[in-house]
């Protein structure tokens, strides 16, 4: 065989092998880059998310809240502050597992009520949201502190126990200000006044302890009433959200 032809064949084979090797390395590098991007995104999401309820955490709320307030087109915005009354009693009487289940349900109800807007869990028993204010055709404002209080205070079935916990809610409009801290302080002041009024009402009309309402028998009774036409609380919150979007 002609040596020149042999050299050419060897060069072609070597070039094809090198090209195949480089393509393999490129695909491998691309796969590693995709994995790294997913890992970074997952870490960023975890850094902004409350691991128990799935809502945003304090850091993410302040980060995104300031961005929302800086956008004039998104106003008027309204802040919602929620504080669970005597939540520590559930931890002390029923344990942390049931307390965590209660928080998960309350976080889901709160997310339903805020209908996809900025909502977060600030601390162990505090929730906060920043939503656009509106008024329905029948004159009902959104957000409505009384409506949200009723939704959050409905009984919760958790690990064989009916649990009822009251919530104090404060609502404050941004009123043109872009200072998130100032808006939250106003909402917090309204929430604390609501908590004081609620405590006065409880002292005037004492009721049974709210930590536990009953066991399986109470659950069966509640379930039978639901079959008679009363929607579960979680479904009612979704229905409220749908009516509000249509309004």
> Please, which residues have CB within 8 angstroms of residue 50's CB and are 6 or more apart in sequence?
56, 57, 107, 120, 121
> Please, which residues have CB within 8 angstroms of residue 192's CB and are 6 or more apart in sequence?
168, 170
By C-alpha distance, which of 65, 168, 171, 154 is closest to 108? Answer: 154
125 is catalytic: yes
Pairing status of strand 141-142 against strand 156-158: unpaired
Residue with tokens 């807007």, as numbered in its chain = 117
Instruction: Determine how many CB atoms are found less than 10 A away from the CB of residue 112.
Output: 20
Can you tell me the distance from the alpha carbon of 108 to that of 114, in angstroms, rounded to the nearest whole number? 10
Active-site residue, from 50, 83, 112, 125: 125
Instruction: Report CA dihedral (162, 200, 106, 247) to the nearest 10 degrees.
Output: 120
By C-alpha distance, which of 39, 17, 130 is closest to 76? Answer: 130
> Please, which residues have CB within 8 angstroms of residue 57's CB and are 6 or more apart in sequence?
48, 49, 50, 120, 121
Active-site residues: which are they? 125
């Amino acid at each position: 065989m002609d040596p020149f032809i042999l050299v050419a064949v060897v060069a072609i084979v070597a070039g094809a092998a090198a090209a195949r090797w480089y393509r393999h390395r490129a695909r491998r590098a691309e796969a590693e880059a995709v994995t790294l991007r997913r890992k970074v995104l997952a870490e960023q999401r975890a850094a902004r998310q409350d691991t128990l309820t799935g809502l945003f955490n304090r850091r993410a709320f302040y980060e995104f809240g300031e961005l929302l307030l800086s956008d004039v087109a998104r106003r008027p915005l309204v802040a919602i502050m929620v504080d669970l009354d005597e939540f520590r009693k559930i931890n002390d009487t029923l344990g942390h597992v049931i307390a965590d289940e209660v928080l998960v349900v309350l976080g889901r109800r709160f997310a339903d009520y805020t209908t996809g807007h900025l909502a977060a869990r600030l601390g162990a028993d505090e929730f906060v949201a920043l939503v656009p204010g509106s008024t329905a055709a029948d004159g009902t404002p959104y957000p409505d502190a009384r409506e949200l209080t009723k939704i959050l205070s409905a009984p919760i079935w958790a690990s064989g126990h009916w649990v009822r916990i009251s919530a104090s809610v404060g609502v404050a409009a941004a009123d043109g200000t872009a200072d998130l801290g100032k808006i939250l302080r106003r909402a917090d002041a309204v929430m604390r006044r609501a908590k004081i009024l609620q405590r006065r009402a409880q002292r005037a009309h004492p009721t049974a302890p709210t930590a536990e309402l009953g066991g399986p028998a109470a659950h069966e009774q509640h379930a039978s009433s639901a079959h008679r036409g009363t929607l579960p609380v979680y479904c009612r919150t979704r229905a409220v959200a749908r009516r509000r979007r249509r309004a």
